Structure 1
Amino acid sequence: MTQRTEEQYLDQLMQIEFAVLGFFDDHPELTDAVVDSAYEELAKRYRAEATAHEYKPGKLDGLRLELHDTLLPLAEMLVGRPDNVMPYAPVSAQAMQDVFKRLRVSIKRWGKVGGRQAYLNFIGGQLGGLELDGLDED
């Protein structure tokens, strides 16, 4: 994913990372490896859709499955299903696959820095004080 593409899908990237942070708040034992597994499975799902192939679910369990099941409804909204309720245009299945691939690259990059939660700590530091437009609670 090029820098331009990353900027193009910044809203989608941030929405997903905010959801992961919320999950992390509830599950402090969450690790980057678990997040990577959930992202990988979601990328696989949208790759199958983008290439008109049958999606064959992987074997997720525990926190991996719980995180996947938390992110899937959000990802579906981002591609415009069941109907577009987001404040911006839906993206294609290919774009959603690219988003999850980009997020996996970030996990790998931060994993090299060190720690089982390096990516989670990074996104917490970057997004922790931000609020999503229209989604903040008053």
Structure 2
Amino acid sequence: MDITEEYEDVLQNLEFPIMDFYHQHRVLEDWEVKRALEATIEHYRAEYSKREPKNMHLSDAEDIIMQRLITVCEWRLGRVELDKVIAITRDFAYQFDPENFIKTSEELQKCLKRIIKSVERWSREGGRQGYLTFTSQYFPQR
């Protein structure tokens, strides 16, 4: 089964905070999203290795996105309640399969890497905001 099918709900959960931030900050560019995703992966690699994450020298926008992604990951890991996730986003109904809700850190990193691939692809095809423009059609602004 393709990762986008197997983890559709997780991918959607992770992309929403990105798109929510983009809808509020239209100057955001794909490379900033990619850096936030990479920093989120580094956060969980460091956790696994029992070390501090490397300083990724993120901009304010990148750091906000990373923190929101970590909150969603923590929810999918079963470490925080949905209320904490809802507090960082607006007007969104998070979809998930209650029978298969909890994910491992490895699964979440795989999903984050898949989103990075999407960012790279749509940036090549659509320019500096190619990913954001393409993905925004699936997350209409309210």
Structure 2 length as normaliser, TM-score?
A: 0.78
Number of residue pairs matched by the alignment: 127
Equivalent position to 2:66, from 59, 65, 68: 68
**1:7-49 CA-partner distances (Å, limit 9, x unpaired):** 1111010111122111111111111011000001111222334
Give me the whole-angstrom Cα distance separating, in 2, the residues matched to 1:45 and 1:93: 10
C-alpha displacement of 1:82: 2.9
Q: Does the 8 Å CA contact 1:84/1:90 hold for their aligned counterparts? A: no
Partner of 2:53: 56
Equivalent position to 2:126, from 107, 114, 120: 114
More displaced, 94-103 or 65-74? 65-74
Consecutive unaligned residues of structure 1, counting only runs of 5 or more, are: 130-136
Which structure's relative contact order is higher, taking Cα pairs within 8 Å and 6+ residues apart?
A: 2
C-alpha displacement of 1:70: 2.2
More displaced, 5-14 or 28-37? 5-14
The alpha-carbon distance between structure 1 residues 41 and 63, as it changes in their structure 2 partners (threshold 3 A), is same
Q: Does the 8 Å CA contact 2:77/2:105 hold for their aligned counterparts? A: yes
Within-5 A mapping of 1:57-96: 57=54, 58-82=56-80, 88=98, 89-96=101-108
CA RMSD, 1 decimal: 2.3
Equivalent position to 2:111, from 99, 115, 136: 99
Secondary structure at the residue paired with 2:103?
coil
Partner of 2:137: 125
Partner of 1:41: 39
C-alpha displacement of 1:94: 0.3
Give me the whole-angstrom Cα distance separating, in 2, the residues matched to 1:48 and 1:5: 24
C-alpha displacement of 1:100: 0.5
Q: Does the 8 Å CA contact 1:43/1:97 hold for their aligned counterparts? A: yes
Structure 1 length as normaliser, TM-score?
A: 0.80
Consecutive unaligned residues of structure 2, counting only runs of 5 or more, are: 84-95
Equivalent position to 1:5, from 3, 8, 11: 3
Give me the whole-angstrom Cα distance separating, in 1, the residues matched to 2:53 and 2:44: 11
